[in-house]
Amino acid sequence: MLEEAGEVLESVLKASCLPLSFLLFVPAVLLLLGPPPAAEAAHEFTVYRMQQYELGGQPYGTRSAVLNTEARTVEADVLSRRCVMMRLVDFSYEQYQKALRQSAGAVVIILPRSISSVPQDVVRQFMEIEPEMLAMETIVPVYFAVEDEELLSIYEQTRAASASQGSASAAEVLLHTATANGFQMVTSGAQSKAINDWLIPSVEGRLTGLGGEDLPTVVIVAHYDSFGVAPWLSHGADSNGSGISVLLELARLFSRLYTYRRTHAGYNLLFFASGGGKFNYQGTKRWLEDNLDHTDSSLLQDNVAFVLCLDTLGRGNSLHLHVSKPPKEGTLQHAFLRELELVVASQFPEVKFSMVHKKINLAEDMLAWEHERFAIRRLPAFTISHLESHRDSLRNSIMDRRARVDTKALTRNTRIIAEALTRVIYNLTDKGAPADLQIFTDQMQIQQEQLESVMDWLSSQPRAAQLIDKDSTFLSTLEYYMGRYLKDVKQHHVKADKRDPEFVFYDQLKQVMNAYRVKPAIFDLLLAVCIAAYLGVAYVAVQHFGLLYKMIQRLSLKTKQQ
């Protein structure tokens, strides 16, 4: 076989008169003349950045938005200056802290398409982690992305490449590193900056009682904004979509009662859908200041019977009336507490009702409940909720979606509140009305279908305070809905003080990220070494062509003699 090879090579060289150097350059010529390999297109997907805001001068959330680094998963040994990808089903706070401790360049958390498909233990764990993620000082950008097939494929390839780095053989690691495909994660947006002129809008409307505006006023309040670790993913179904749903249904019911003279009560009803509730109730705070400090006459100044705040009412078999100071006997707020107990005991015995007393702690940065804003201004107020504690993680989570709201429980809670409120303002108990008297029946019954549609509308969109301004579609729809049943409906706006802002919002909360398929840097190094070796061999062959030719001739002659 060696003899045949030598004869073939000699015949080729003699017959074609081609210099050997041309054969050495054939691979390079073929690479130059051949078509370039098709480049794989980058995968483009939407990402949602973690919260970035300041409240009372204290920064929260991530401090950066720009990302241009190679992807890894937590299985990799080295995470420094890498974009660490995690899936929610495998997410843990320890892994998240590990990535930040190792100076990761960014973190991308992949969420499933449907949150309802996630196991409940994973959901509860992540809900408990969210406040810790925001409280932790995070310099690098943290993003959330909703999975699709391409993104999951990128994650699996990155995970395989990251896991291979722990191989026992250094040669295998080097070979895999050189041949594996990596992904460069790049965001298209700019660095985040403060929004100095952002407005927090609220909406108010009223029903005037029979006898004029000098009558006592019952104020019904619910904040509409939602909150979670990422503003664009915060749908806030139970907190506080359920509270706004109950407020709108109460407005509808009492507008009908106030239409007819014989059912027109001697109380003014003031409805307030407040903004900035998740930011220490900024909308309510400024609304109170404007009505109590900067005006000569308002319904809040004249005679406030009590303020009822609605918060998280969409599930469970319990109701709790949260108070900063227990109501005294003989007051209207004590009468409302008594009526709530009466309605629950006589008509809904399956519901557990209790009063929760918690003093206001002014040393804390955040107030526990919205009624505390009113209590600070010495207005009698309380909050009704199915949550026993204000620290429940449900109130501030992106996991608070529509599926977590039980419409039947929401309808029942609406009816309990409506029945008790009606018994108070019409003084039905003192007039001898039986405890099991059902007021809202037949044509006046609670409309579960309408509550469902309102909940669907509220939970279909993120309602973070950073996303809702005075011209937003959500706010105009809310204002229109309240205007159908209430009088003097108008917006109230809150703007941060430029000199000493109580809150500061930042932009770049939603961006487009590209995942580019790239080879690692070591691949370029090995490729450069191979090219240099090839060119070296070609150079030596050209310089010593005569000697090489004689060697081939001798080899051929020797094989013939043998």
Residue 547 maps to a domain: no
Residue in the structure block whose two tokens are 């050495």? 24
Tens of pLDDT, residues 44-68: 999 999 999 999 889 999 999 999 9
CATH classification at residue 424: 3.40.630.10
Helices (H) and strands (E) in the chain, counts: 16, 19
Lowest mean pLDDT segment, chosen from 291-305, 323-337, 377-391, 522-536: 522-536
Q: So what's the pLDDT on residue 105?
A: 94
Residue in the structure block whose two tokens are 């490449």? 161
Q: So what's the pLDDT on residue 163?
A: 76
Tens of pLDDT, residues 191-237: 999 998 899 999 999 999 988 768 999 999 999 999 999 999 999 99
Give the type of residue at 147. Answer: E
Residue 444 maps to a domain: yes
Together in a domain, 399 and 372: yes
Lowest mean pLDDT segment, chosen from 19-33, 337-351, 393-407, 456-470: 19-33
Phi-psi region of 341 (alpha: psi -120 to 50; beta: other; left: phi over 0): alpha
Give the type of residue at 399. Answer: M
Cα–Cα distance measured from residue 203 to residue 201, given in angstroms and rounded to the nearest whole number = 7
Residue 505 maps to a domain: no
Q: So what's the pLDDT on residue 9?
A: 41
Q: What is the mean pLDDT of residues 23-39?
A: 48
How sure is the predictor about 29, in pLDDT bands with cuts at 50, 70 and 90? low
Torsion of CA 70, 76, 80, 84, to 10 degrees: 60
Residue 336 maps to a domain: yes
Do residues 273 and 340 make contact, with C-beta atoms less than 8 angstroms apart?
no
CA distance readout (Å), 52 to 141, 395, 401: 10, 18, 22
Structure-block tokens of residue 514: 């590209």
Together in a domain, 119 and 243: no
Residue 561 maps to a domain: no
Q: Which of 289-298, 510-519, 524-533 has the highest mean pLDDT?
A: 510-519
Q: Which residue has the higher pLDDT, 321 or 10?
A: 321
Phi, psi of 202 (to 5 degrees): -135, 165
Together in a domain, 487 and 514: no
Q: So what's the pLDDT on residue 6?
A: 46
How sure is the predictor about 176, in pLDDT bands with cuts at 50, 70 and 90? low
Cα–Cα distance measured from residue 253 to residue 48, given in angstroms and rounded to the nearest whole number = 39
Q: Which residue has the higher pLDDT, 268 or 171?
A: 268
pTM attached to this predicted model:
0.85
Residue 25 maps to a domain: no
Residue 537 maps to a domain: no
354 alpha-carbon distance from chain centroid: 32
Cα–Cα distance measured from residue 61 to residue 495, given in angstroms and rounded to the nearest whole number = 21
Lowest mean pLDDT segment, chosen from 49-63, 191-205, 350-364, 548-562: 548-562
CA atoms within 13 A on the CB side of 52: 23
Lowest mean pLDDT segment, chosen from 149-163, 169-183, 343-357: 169-183
Do residues 325 and 291 make contact, with C-beta atoms less than 8 angstroms apart?
no
Q: So what's the pLDDT on residue 557?
A: 75
Is the pLDDT at 20 greater than 50? The verdict is: no
Q: Which residue has the higher pLDDT, 232 or 30?
A: 232
Neighbours of 122 (CB within 10 A): 17
Together in a domain, 143 and 204: no
Q: What is the mean pLDDT of residues 326-344?
A: 95
Tens of pLDDT, residues 99-146: 999 999 999 999 999 888 888 999 999 999 999 999 888 999 999 999
Q: What is the mean pLDDT of residues 304-333?
A: 96
Which domain range does residue 301 map to? Answer: 199-495
Together in a domain, 203 and 190: no
Do residues 497 and 205 make contact, with C-beta atoms less than 8 angstroms apart?
no
Structure-block tokens of residue 125: 């764990």
Instruction: Give the neighbor-by-neighbor strand order of the sheet with 52-55.
Output: 58-61, 52-55, 503-506, 194-195
**Spatial CA neighbour of 218 closest among 348, 333, 385:** 333
Residue in the structure block whose two tokens are 């006997």? 329
CA distance readout (Å), 403 to 88, 237, 268: 18, 8, 36
Q: Which residue has the higher pLDDT, 31 or 61?
A: 61
Residue 511's H or E segment, with its range, is strand 510-518
Is the pLDDT at 265 greater than 50? The verdict is: yes
Together in a domain, 349 and 485: yes
Together in a domain, 380 and 442: yes
Together in a domain, 288 and 392: yes
**Spatial CA neighbour of 317 closest among 356, 348, 363, 296:** 348
Together in a domain, 223 and 283: yes
Together in a domain, 448 and 306: yes
Do residues 329 and 241 make contact, with C-beta atoms less than 8 angstroms apart?
no
**Spatial CA neighbour of 275 closest among 474, 108, 562:** 474
Residue 434 maps to a domain: yes
**Spatial CA neighbour of 229 closest among 310, 132, 365:** 132
| Overall number of domains in the chain | 2
Q: So what's the pLDDT on residue 27?
A: 54
Do residues 395 and 368 make contact, with C-beta atoms less than 8 angstroms apart?
no
State the average pLDDT for the chain.
87
How sure is the predictor about 245, in pLDDT bands with cuts at 50, 70 and 90? very high
Together in a domain, 254 and 187: no
Q: So what's the pLDDT on residue 26?
A: 54
Q: So what's the pLDDT on residue 372?
A: 97
**Spatial CA neighbour of 144 closest among 516, 402, 515, 513:** 513
How sure is the predictor about 444, in pLDDT bands with cuts at 50, 70 and 90? confident
Tens of pLDDT, residues 479-508: 999 999 999 999 999 999 888 899 999 999
Together in a domain, 120 and 168: yes
Give the type of residue at 501. Answer: P
CA atoms within 13 A on the CB side of 187: 26
Residue in the structure block whose two tokens are 């940065």? 365
Structure-block tokens of residue 236: 């806030």
